[in-house]
């Protein structure tokens, strides 16, 4: 580790950290390398201890020390780092937070006991810009007893690990997916699918889905929920094949009698075809 002289030589023109003005403090103990000493007696307090911030909103946290033996107090953070202080507290403040993956840590330095630190729990979130539901590889009406898939897509949401996607049939929940296995911090698009086998009585039923951000007690008081549009099912019955024997018996009653050459007989061929079509339609409906 560099001593005070070498630090000044390698940081010409830079404002030196406060610990350089305290000759008795070992710079190794005050380094920002992350290898801080584990000191049980270091009493640092961060208020609030956990923050949930919407991307682009302001953020503020106060770090304070309770023990007089740690004269230097500072923040290690990638944006808005305040100058370290000899006071009892130090506020970290950013007017507009525009970083997704950010670590904020408050530290205290003692000339005898070394350095200790405490991390601020910080979650940066963004509600989804849109949620939609569609059929997978299908358009038009559905046939009863056939298999179909619905897809729910959420767009530009962060962090994904806090998202819950839910499918609904009317007011009935069908399935729910959580993404707590991922640590993706930046906004992403994500989709899930739901298989359905519609019945005749499902005609007119509405399917939909929603995305909810579960941000805990530090998040917004009202849960952030974005719902898709409603997808209304049009369910048709499969056409049934007419029994050939039944069709033959029915058609036997439709024979043409006394056909005339001018087509003015009791029943001409056009009337026969019309009757056959009507009978077939009625038989299909009665299935």
How does pLDDT run across 11-32, given as a tens digit for each residue? 444 445 554 554 444 434 444 4
Between 36 and 217, whose confidence is greater?
217
The predicted structure's pLDDT at residue 112 = 77
H or E segment at 176?
strand 172-178
Residue bearing the bigger pLDDT, 193 or 17 = 193
Strand order from edge to edge, sheet including 44-47: 44-47, 59-65, 89-94
Which residue from 196, 212, 190 is spatially nearest to 150, judged by alpha carbons?
Answer: 196
CB atoms under 10 Å from CB of 39, counted, come to: 19
Average pLDDT, the chain: 79
Q: Which residues of 179-275 form beta strands (DSSP E)?
A: 188-196, 206-213, 224-227, 231-232, 235-236
Burial of 19: CB neighbours in 10 Å, binned 0-12, 13-18, 19+: buried
Kindly provide the b/e burial profile for residues 149-164, where b requires at least 16 CB atoms within 10 angstroms of the residue's own CB. Answer: ebebbbbebbbbebbb
Per-residue model confidence (pLDDT) at position 41: 57
Q: Map residue 224 onto helix, strand or coil.
A: strand
Yes or no: domain 130-236 corresponds to CATH 2.70.70.10: no
Q: What is the pLDDT of residue 251?
A: 47
Q: Could you report the per-residue pLDDT of 244-272, keeping only the tens digit for each?
A: 444 455 445 544 444 445 544 444 444 44
Flag whether the pTM goes above 0.75: no
Give pLDDT, residue 207. Answer: 98
| For residue 85, pLDDT beyond 70 | yes
Q: Residue 35, SS3?
A: coil
Is the model more confident about 286 or about 59? 59
Beta bridge partners of 148: 196
At 265 the pLDDT is 47
- Which fold would CATH assign to domain 4-124? Immunoglobulin-like (2.60.40)
Q: In the structure encoding, which two tokens stand for residue 64, read together? A: 């304070």
Least confident of 47-61, 94-108, 116-130, 174-188: 174-188
- CA end-to-end span of the chain: 88
pLDDT bracket for residue 284 (50, 70, 90): very low
SS3 192: strand
Q: Is the pLDDT of residue 142 over 60?
A: yes
Helices 244-252 and 269-286 meet at what angle, rounded to 10?
A: 140
Residues of the chain with CATH 2.60.40.10: 4-124, 130-236
Residue 139 CA: distances (Å) to CA of 77, 116, 196, 204, 219 = 52, 62, 15, 16, 40
pLDDT of residue 36: 42
Residue 273's pLDDT is what?
Answer: 52
Q: What is the pLDDT of residue 2?
A: 38
pLDDT digits (tens, 9 = 90+) for 146-164: 999 999 999 999 999 999 9
Share of the chain above pLDDT 70, in %: 68
User: Which structure tokens are listed for 175?
Assistant: 């399935």
What are the CA-CA distances from residue 166 to residues 50, 129, 176 (Å)? 28, 17, 4
197 or 3: which leads in pLDDT: 197
169 vs 244 pLDDT, higher one = 169
């Amino acid at each position: 580790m560099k001593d005070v002289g070498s630090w000044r030589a390698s940081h010409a023109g830079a404002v030196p950290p406060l610990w350089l003005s305290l000759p008795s403090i070992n710079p190794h103990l005050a380094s920002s390398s992350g290898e801080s000493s584990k000191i049980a007696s270091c009493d640092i307090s961060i208020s609030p201890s956990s923050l949930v911030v919407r991307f682009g909103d302001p953020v503020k946290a106060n770090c304070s020390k309770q023990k007089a033996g740690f004269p230097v107090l500072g923040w290690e953070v990638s944006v808005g780092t305040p100058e370290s202080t000899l006071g009892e507290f130090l506020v970290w403040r950013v007017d507009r937070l525009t970083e997704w993956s950010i670590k904020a840590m408050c530290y205290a330095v003692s000339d005898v006991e070394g350095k200790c630190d405490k991390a601020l729990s910080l979650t940066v979130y963004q509600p989804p810009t849109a949620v939609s539901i569609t059929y997978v590889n299908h358009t038009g009406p559905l046939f009863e007893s056939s298999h179909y898939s619905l897809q729910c897509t959420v767009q530009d949401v962060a962090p994904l690990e806090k998202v819950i996607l839910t499918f609904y049939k009317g007011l009935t929940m069908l399935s729910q997916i959580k993404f707590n296995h991922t640590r993706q911090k930046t906004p992403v698009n994500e989709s899930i699918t739901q298989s359905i086998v519609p019945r005749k009585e499902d005609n007119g039923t509405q399917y939909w889905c929603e995305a909810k951000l579960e941000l805990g007690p530090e998040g917004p008081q009202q849960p952030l929920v974005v719902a898709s549009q409603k997808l209304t099912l049009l369910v048709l019955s499969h056409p049934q094949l007419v029994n050939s024997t039944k069709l033959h018996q029915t058609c036997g009653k439709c024979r043409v009698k006394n056909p005339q050459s001018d087509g003015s007989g009791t029943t001409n061929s056009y009337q026969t075809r019309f009757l056959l079509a009507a009978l077939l339609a009625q038989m299909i409906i009665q299935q």
